[in-house]
């Protein structure tokens, strides 16, 4: 059964039942009343409502943010990193993609998130098949089309990171294995040990699974 797509008044509170609602980018940007238990994206004019990222995505994302900030504050070339934000919207012509992390580099100033395209966009893959296709295929096309220079897909299930590039003279795609360290010319001197992020994600596999098996819902996110 297809999801009904209906246009609702601008005053309607956005929530789980708003999934499939038709909206313009302007209406989406202006929305202020929404259920904070969910995440929202606008995809080709259709509102998509999803559960929030789990611990196994949020914690390694935080760890990546820490690595980037240490690089910015302590490395002699750290000024190459302008800013980085987690859970940030990427503005497309008819869509608003919610990226796990964006990185602005090479601007030499504080970026404007609405107009400055990030140099790097990062997504942490979930185990839902629909989301895997979205991360590996749809977002890759969309991000590179607007000028994102590198798209990092961190997949804890496959134990790899796929780097997709949009720059002449460099491979269009590179696979980073679990025990490898990734370096990018966009952030001179920055080193990303993939195993470190995967270990942080793995830390949550036991506690989360045990909590579900015991029937405990304390502190768990809505599904």
Q: Where are the domains of the chain?
A: 1-52, 55-204
Q: Please answer whether residues 7 and 21 qualify as being in contact, where contact means their C-beta atoms are separated by less than 8 angstroms.
A: yes
> Tokens representing 207?
């506690």
Q: Which two tokens stand for residue 75?
A: 């490395």
CB 125 within 8 A of CB 98: no
Euclidean distance between CA atoms 85 and 62, whole angstroms: 10
C-alpha distance from residue 65 to each of 19, 133, 200 (Å)? 30, 25, 13
DSSP H helices in 19-121: 25-30, 55-74
Residue 67: its pLDDT value, please? Answer: 99
User: What is the model's pLDDT at position 219?
Assistant: 38
**The pLDDT value given to residue 5:** 57
What local confidence, expressed as pLDDT, does residue 175 receive?
A: 98
Residues in the chain predicted with pLDDT less than 50, given as ranges, are 1-3, 9, 208-223
pLDDT at 167 (0 to 100): 80
Third-level CATH fold of 55-204: tt1808, chain A (3.90.1570)
Give helix 55-74 / helix 205-213 axis angle, nearest 10°. Answer: 160
Q: Which two tokens stand for residue 218?
A: 């304390």
pLDDT confidence of residue 127: 84
Helix (H, G, I), strand (E, B) or coil at 87: strand
Q: How far apart are CA 195 and CA 205, in angstroms?
A: 15
């Amino acid at each position: 059964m297809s999801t009904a797509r209906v246009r609702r008044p601008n005053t309607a509170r956005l929530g789980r039942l708003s999934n499939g609602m038709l909206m313009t980018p302007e209406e989406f940007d202006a929305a202020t009343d929404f259920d904070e238990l969910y995440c929202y994206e606008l995809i080709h004019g259709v509102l998509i409502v999803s559960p929030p990222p789990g611990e196994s995505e949020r914690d390694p994302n935080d760890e990546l943010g820490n690595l980037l900030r240490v690089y910015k504050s302590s490395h002699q070339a750290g000024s190459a990193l302008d800013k980085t934000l987690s859970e940030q919207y990427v503005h497309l012509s008819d869509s608003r993609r919610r990226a796990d992390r964006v990185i602005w580099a090479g601007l030499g100033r504080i970026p404007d998130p609405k107009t400055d395209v990030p140099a790097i966009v990062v997504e942490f893959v979930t185990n839902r098949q629909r989301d895997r296709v979205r991360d590996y295929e749809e977002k890759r096309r969309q991000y590179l089309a607007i000028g994102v220079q590198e798209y990092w897909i961190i997949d804890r299930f496959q134990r790899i990171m796929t780097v997709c590039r949009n720059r002449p003279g460099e491979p269009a795609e590179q696979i980073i294995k679990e025990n490898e360290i990734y370096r990018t010319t966009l952030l001179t001197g920055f080193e990303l040990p993939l195993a470190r992020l995967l270990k942080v994600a793995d830390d949550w596999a036991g506690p989360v699974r045990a909590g579900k098996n015991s029937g405990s819902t304390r502190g768990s996110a809505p599904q």
